[in-house]
Structure formats: C-alpha cells, structure tokens
Amino acid sequence: MKENQYDYIIVGAGSAGCVLANRLTEDGQKQVLLLETGGSDKSIFIQMPTALSIPMNTKKYAWQFHTEPEPFLDNRRMHCPRGKVLGGSSSINGMVYVRGHARDFDEWESEGATGWNYSNVLPYFKKAETWAFGGDDYRGDTGPLGVNNGNNMQNPLYKAFIKAGTDAGYMETGDYNGGQQEGFGPMHMTVRHGRRWSTANAYLRPAMARENLTVVTHALVHKVLLDGKTATGVRYEQNGQVHDVTANDEVILSAGSIGSPHLLQLSGIGNPDVLKTSGIEVQHELPGVGENLQDHLEFYFQFRCKQPVSLNRKLDWWNKLKIGVRWILRKDGLGATNHFESCGFIRSKAGVEWPDLQYHFLPAAMRYDGKEAFDGDGFQLHIGHNKPKSRGNVHVQSADPKVAPRIRFNYLEHEADREGFRDCVRLTREIINQPAMDEYRGAEIQPGASVETDEQIDAFVRQAVESAYHPSCTCKMGTDELAVVDPETRVRGIENLRVVDSSVFPTIPNGNLNAPTIMVAERAADLIRGKEPLHASDAPVVMDEQWQSRQRQGQAKRVLT
C-alpha cells in the first residue's frame, strides 16, 4: 500500500464512524483511515456520566453551531452542538438509549429506504448491544455497546412518575426498547462499569490496536476529491498542512447531519443554486443535499417537590465534589448515571398509531448547563412532540471549509407541531396530577398555572422550547428526487462515495438518535463489505389495537378541570 493510500477513508469518528472503523477492520484485510477534527475523549467530564452538561457546552469537544433566526420561535437563534472529539456526539450526549418505535423503521421503508424496515433492523440493534439484564428476542447480550438503567431508580420520584402514568390510564412497559415502546417505565442509558459508553469506548478503542486502522485527529476535511463522477479520496488539513489521501475502494462520510451535507456541498455535490451562491463549482447536481432537516424540540415542565428527596440538594459544590470523588474511586453512585432513569412514550391523540410524545423524567429542577432552576427541591419532565412535520435545511455559506454552514430548522412551522406541544402541556398536567404524585407534587413553576389557552401555550413554547440535539435526515435515504443516498447508503450518481450517519434517516424516529445511528452503521458495514444481511426478525410488536378510537388504554383516575 502506498503512502497516503487506503482502502476506505472514513470522515468523522462519531457514533457511526467509530462503528465503521471497527467493523471494516475486523477481518484484517482492508486498510482504513479514520479522520476526526477533534481530539482525545480522555476527560473526566466526558467519561463521568453525571457531567454530561459540560462537554456539549465546551468548544474543545463540540461544534458550537447556532441556527439562523427561527421564524416560528420568535426569531431565536437555537444552539446546535455537535461532537468534535473521538466518539463524536456519543461523547457529548445525554447517553439516553432509545431505538425508536418499530413503526418508525417501517415508515423508512415506505419512504423508499428498501430493506430498512423493523424486521431487518432489529437484528442489528441486537448485534450492537450488551443489555445489562440479558438477551432475548429483542435485546442483545454480546455486542460492544453497554446499556443499563443507571442506579436502577433508587430515587422514589422515578417510580412515582411511572405510577402516575398508569394512574392516568396509560400502559406500563418493562422495556420500551423491546416489544412495547408505548407506556411508562425505566429508561436506559449507554453506561457501562459506571462510565459513559460512547462509540469511542465501545468500538474504536478495541479497533485502534489493529495494524490496519489509522486514526488521525485534529484533521479538518476540506472536501471529497472527485475524478468525474467517482470519489477518489479526500483533502484535509492538520496543523496548517494540507494533505490529499486516496481511497482505493470508498470514501465514507460519517460527519453527522450538519457535517456530511456540508462536506458534500463543499465538494460541489448538491443543489446548484446553493453551490453557486457560495462560489462553489457544481460537480454533481443533487438537490436533496442539506434538505429535509428534522430535529426534536422539548421543554422542561418543572414543579416544586414537597419532600426533601430531589437532586437539587446535591447541586452545591461540596456535594458535587463528594459525588466526583466517589466516582473516581469506585465508578458508582450519582456520578455513574445521567439521572434520566424513568420515562414515558405516549400518543398525543386518538388516530395516532404509535407514540409521538416522549418524556424524560429528572428528579431535579435544573437547566441543561447543570445549574439550579430555583431554590429548594424540585423535579422536571423533559417533554416533546417527536414526529415533527416541519422541515429545514443546512446550506453551505462559503467555499472556505472553516466557515460554518447556514442552519435553519423552521421549528414549529407546521400547525401539527404546534398542536403537538399543546397536547404536551395538557396531558402532562393530567399525569402529574395523579394520586401517585400527591405526596411530592408542589407548585407548577413552568409553564405556570396561568398558561392555559392555546395562545398562551403557543407563546410559552416559542420562548421556552429547546432543541433535544437530534438533527437528522439531511442526506435522506430513498429513491425520490430529494434522496441523497440509495438504500445501500451510496451517494446517488457518484461512484465509491457513501454517507453513513443520522443524516441518511428518511424521517426522524420517536426517540433519541444515538441508538438508531449505531444501528445504521452496523447494517451499512455489512452492505459495504457485501456480506449477507443478518436474518430478519419475526419478533412481534405490541400496539394498542384501538389506536384509531382512543388516545390511551383506560380512563384517567383524575382529570383537571
């Protein structure tokens, strides 16, 4: 093999790129180069789960993107951090492990992503995972990715929230990543032996011992090199020096839903109008590049807590120090969890076939930067409408790769999304006002009891809603005119070039995106190597048979008036 020549070049050592680096080198036959703009993930703030708010707000570890003024959010510029470190966004995220509903993947296939239905993707979810409670028809027990429930809901607020959900007439689910997503139950996280189990820890670190994997950090990729309609390599910059490297087989972009479309556009692949405006010569017309951008929004529903059991009592410097020291010495305790240990997935109304609202329950009232929301005890629910109809875009602004792209989500442009958040407010109040929460529920802090009408809820949401940090779908997989990659993840019209990350999702799943991104990379690795796909699963899916006529299975025991 010549110097600067490899079989595969992977751009981005994130949730997908680390998986590919492992799988494409495991047989020892191919030389693989993995390029990452960021550096090492060996920081206590990355590895200690409870410190999750720090890396996502640190320039060293995350691209600190911001959107254009969002016209339906009172022109607010929204924060959009993306991982810039080994492990990518799996090293800065909240570690919540949600695969999505089975119907989300059937929806992908209906959108043109042939072969990506639930039966076909479930075996790859299992392949990736070691579930702390053992394998079965739905869960894996031999995969690289460690998944557990943190501290197993020791705080009483977690179980009270689940009971409130069932009091309100919703289902309970023992495993929302198993046969039944809908309902209330324990939440899962990518934590193993008390540490954040990013794809860097799970996949990349074992692979780095192999002679056929080369990892280059602090490497800013400028563009994909093309010979006509064939990708031949990439150009990247490191320490002020520009390098061209050649790929004998394929170039694979795994730079994420912001980075991958931006790199395609920098390479002259995309909508000609967008490229020409930025002074980039068109190499290949592909109008869907950067379009179809989707994300999850959420807000914090906050309450005071009448009992002295919330984590607000642990937010002073002395308690944080004790938590940190215990974690350093033992890798357990409150430092070894993301604190999202119970959750809920419900349907917003009758006629919605599978859940479109998601709850993360937190036994504290605080902001994403880890600071207290108010003095005293409290708890909060992160609630969002997870199947948005609004669509945005990522557009290159300059031929200079150091200039960030223009990002606009058009959050809440569609009336159905605004309606979904009204449902979030009203249904959450009903749930929290169930008997199970009576001994804990204090005053409603946010939105506040005075926020009642559609207009008041809409105004509150426009000001309070935040990104759940799940940008996706900007290089959608399919066969229509806006599809960027085909169902094999190959860029349409360009030889030897693929995109493998959350940008290829046709639609956003109901849940956090790390798990489905890892699954996509696992399955794509087999496609790239020409391997026979894993045998499809026939495991059944539990659904409410009367979804067309009811919003939940039973009637609530208490209804707000």
Residue ranges at the known binding site for FAD: 7-36, 85, 93-96, 221
Q: Residue 260's closest CA among 505, 80, 504?
A: 504
Whole-angstrom CA distances from 338 to 189, 281, 517 are 8, 46, 20
What letter does residue 525 receive in the DSSP assignment? Answer: H
Whole-angstrom CA distances from 543 to 102, 173, 469 are 10, 12, 28
Cα separation, 379 vs 375, whole angstroms: 12
Cα separation, 427 vs 344, whole angstroms: 12
- Choosing from 66, 385, 470, 535, the catalytic residue is 470
- Containing 158, the helix (H) or strand (E) segment is helix 156-167
Burial of 482 (0-12, 13-18, 19+ CB in 10 A): middle
Does 470 participate in catalysis according to the annotation? yes
Count Cβ atoms below 10 Å from residue 164 Cβ, excluding itself: 26
Q: Residues with Cβ < 8 Å from 227, sequence gap 6 or more?
A: none
Q: What is the largest CA-CA distance in the chain?
A: 74
What letter does residue 387 receive in the DSSP assignment? Answer: S
Tokens 């937190």 belong to 362
Cα separation, 508 vs 282, whole angstroms: 29
Identity (one letter) of the amino acid at 406?
Answer: R
Cα separation, 43 vs 353, whole angstroms: 43
- Full DSSP string of 405-460: PEEE--TT-SHHHHHHHHHHHHHHHHHHTSGGGTTTEEEEEES-TT--SHHHHHHH
Q: Which residues pair with 250 in a beta bridge?
A: 8
Q: Which residues pair with 64 in a beta bridge?
A: 81
Contact 79, 487 (CB under 8 A): no
Contact 233, 8 (CB under 8 A): no
Contact 8, 250 (CB under 8 A): yes
CA 307 and chain centroid, separation: 33
Binding residues: 7-36, 85, 93-96, 221
Q: Residue 41's closest CA among 182, 168, 203?
A: 203
Cα separation, 66 vs 404, whole angstroms: 9
Q: For residue 233, is it left (φ>0), alpha (ψ between -120 and 50) or beta?
A: left
Residues designated as active site? 470
